[in-house]
A and B are shown apart, each in its own frame.
Chain A
Amino acid sequence: MARISIKDLQKTFGAHRAVDGISLEIRDGEFLIIVGPSGCGKTTTLNMISGLERPTGGQIVIGDTLVNDLEPGERGLGMVFQDLALFPHMTVFENIAFGLRVKKMPDAEVRRRVAAAAAAVHIEALLEKFPRQCSGGESQRVALARTIVTDPSVFLMDEPLSSLDAKLRVDMRTELKSLHHRLGATFVYVTHDQAEAMTMADRIVVMSKGRIEQVGSPLDIYNRPATRFVAGFFGMPTMNFVEGAVVASGDRRSFRADDVEHPLPAAVPAALAGREAVLGVRSEHVLVGDGASLKGVAQLSEPLGDTTLVHFDIGKGRRLVAKVGPTAAIEPGEALTFQFAAEFCHLFDVHNGARLY
């Protein structure tokens, strides 16, 4: 059983809390992605699961075994490292075979399994080469094969694609996803790239400053971010945030920031009226054009091909970004009108960033 259960895991380096009490249930066979900005404790968390780093506090249970005191090699895990960590003095074959040789497996069996692992990631032709003779993408596959060959029930991956160029990185996403499907093993994958997380994960864990901000499916996290941090972390361009207050207008609530007022959905509870809040709305939910009543001045327009991003000013130094159709021609300096798609507005606490609605 490749279920991993983490309870109140902590790691401190001196006075610095790198991982500050996280609890998490990793399900058997899922593709779980831990995502967060650099330095938020992702690698430290993964290293504690693998056993390379000793927790300062908390428990890690793999299957039904408390593994806190087990050696890394005794946990039945495989890991792909950020810098790949291929052994430079061994051929690709010996790199892949290393884990089997350590277990004193008979030579014929080693050959059979290395060949199978190499075939799984299409590197049969590389076996006699040395790592320095392999390209970035090939090295990547070697590192994968080296992990696959030991047949672990859990794969840990620490930013395995970060050394690849953009195009290859996108191709490898698809390949990793299908590899996960074929192997049926549990993948725990760490990245700082929100797009990577969105495209591959069954579930996403968002971390910030050593803590978990939110756990959920990619769409959950995108559509109902639990905190302002999560809301800002996912999506390109970054979500628009406007500071202001919730006010009552008749039997509905609306959002007011100085002289800008915008109605909120009917479901926003009455208790929020009068409260300071941050309104969050994604650029694709900012509607520019006819019928809108709020006014802004366009500053910059960025054509992306399929869409165009319009940056505009709504006074008091507030700038918003709207995603408009590729044919909309909006010149800098041009006055425009806009409104928000009310059902896609998010409200966050001004101080701790928690979701209010």
Chain B
Amino acid sequence: MKTAASAMSPEQARVRRIRRERRNRIVRHAVLLAWTGFIAFPIYWMVMTSFKDSGEWVTWPPHWVPHAPTLHNYAQIFAFSSIDPSLSRQAAEQAFTIWKGLGDSLLVCTTAALLALLLGTFLAYSISRFNVGGKYFRHTILTIRMIPPIVIAISILIYYAILIPYATGAVFGARISMFDTYIGLILIYTVTTLPFVIWMMLTFIDEVPYTLEHAARLMGAGRFTVIRRVVLPLVASGMVVTFLFVFILNWAEFLLALTLTHPEVTTLTVLLNKFQSASEGRLYGPQAAIGTMITIPVVVLGILIQKHLVKGFSFGTIRR
């Protein structure tokens, strides 16, 4: 066969190469499509379920689309007061409105993301400009992020629920627990997302030439003025992107919230989990409705960030 291949005319070789490329492309797209389907199917099922009435939640054969679409599930999760008795199947339904979870999630995620952004931006600045921590510090920071949350969850729980209350009790005479508090959850979110903030802000700050700061300082600006008037305006869009990214991370976080809170602080992901353990049975419909509502901002912010990331990283404003 070797001789046959070498005897091939250039024209034949070209045709073969085109065929091979086409085949590769088809295989690649088939694999990607299958993967997309695999990933998207649960989301599809969730959205469909959120429009089904209780009779349709579990059926065989499965209903791919709701046969009798209803907004009941949404009415239930968005209810402000006890809902219309005609709609209400169970008294316990009132416990499963979205409002408490939404409020807690917004408060915790926003505060933690802002805090991480503030700390991370200044840390990134000093790493970029003064080589704080040495040449490889920026990579070290990223490896911190490789520790799975499950590894730290239990030890943090021990600190929050036992060691800190015990220590404060011994020292100040009052037991201060961090378990199931807003501050406790905000702190742990701030810490776990800080490496991302530092890493992302580093790429933005590195893009701002140091000579811009030199020029400003020679014109009499102090360090603070230089940061406020020169550096911050140039990394502002990067900060927005970073904030949104970290916000999404916090918004979708489940494990730490589950471990470190109960029953007081209830983020949306934890709220979602409660439906399954409810003694009244499994309320798939409202659960799917909340799941859908949690997913929407993630998708919207994701699309927003995607646009900003491209603009942010290529930067547009800096000319070299």
Contact = CB atoms under 8 A, between A and B. Distances in A.
A81 B214 contact: yes
A52 interface: yes
Contact of B221 (A51, A79, A82, A102): A102
A83 B211 contact: yes
B296 interface: no
Q: How large, as a class, is the contact surface on chain B?
A: 20 to 34
21 contacts: A50-B214, A52-B217, A52-B218, A71-B222, A72-B214, A72-B217, A73-B220, A81-B211, A81-B214, A85-B209, A85-B212, A87-B212, A87-B215, A88-B234, A89-B233, A89-B317, A98-B216, A102-B219, A131-B319, A150-B219, A150-B220
A99 interface: yes
B209 A83 contact: yes
Which of A73, A78, A81 has the most chain B CB within a 10 Å cutoff? A73
B8 interface: no
A269 to B, nearest CB: 50
Contact of B218 (A72, A83, A88, A132): A72
Contacts of B220: 73-74, 99, 102-103, 150
Contacts of B230: 87
A77 interface: yes
Q: Is the interface of B mostly helix, strand, loop or mixed?
A: helix
Contacts, number: 66
Interface in B197-230: 209, 211-212, 214-222, 225, 229-230
Contact of A98 (B219, B317, B318, B320): B219
Contact of A73 (B218, B229, B320): B218
A77 B218 contact: yes
A89 B234 contact: yes
B317 A132 contact: yes
Nearest to A71: B217
Contacts of B317: 88-89, 132
B234 A79 contact: no
A85 B233 contact: no
B215 A79 contact: yes
A297 B222 CA distance: 66
Which of B215, B216, B221, B319 has the most chain A CB within a 10 Å cutoff? B215
Contacts of A131: 319
Instruction: Enumerate the 7 nearest inter-chain pairs by beta-carbon distance, A residue then B residue, closest first.
Output: A99-B219, A73-B220, A85-B215, A85-B211, A88-B317, A102-B221, A72-B217
A73 B221 contact: yes
A69 to B, nearest CB: 15
B78 to A, nearest CB: 43
Nearest to A100: B219
A260 B49 CA distance: 101
B212 A102 contact: no
Contact of B319 (A52, A74, A103, A132): A132
Contacts of B320: 83
Contacts of B215: 79, 81, 85, 87, 146
A2 to B, nearest CB: 15
A102 B225 contact: yes
Given A85-B211, A131-B319, 12 more contacts: A50-B214, A72-B218, A73-B221, A79-B214, A81-B211, A83-B209, A89-B233, A98-B216, A98-B219, A99-B220, A132-B317, A146-B219
Interface in B168-213: 209, 211-212
Interface in A82-100: 82-83, 85, 87-89, 98-99
Contacts of A52: 214, 217-218
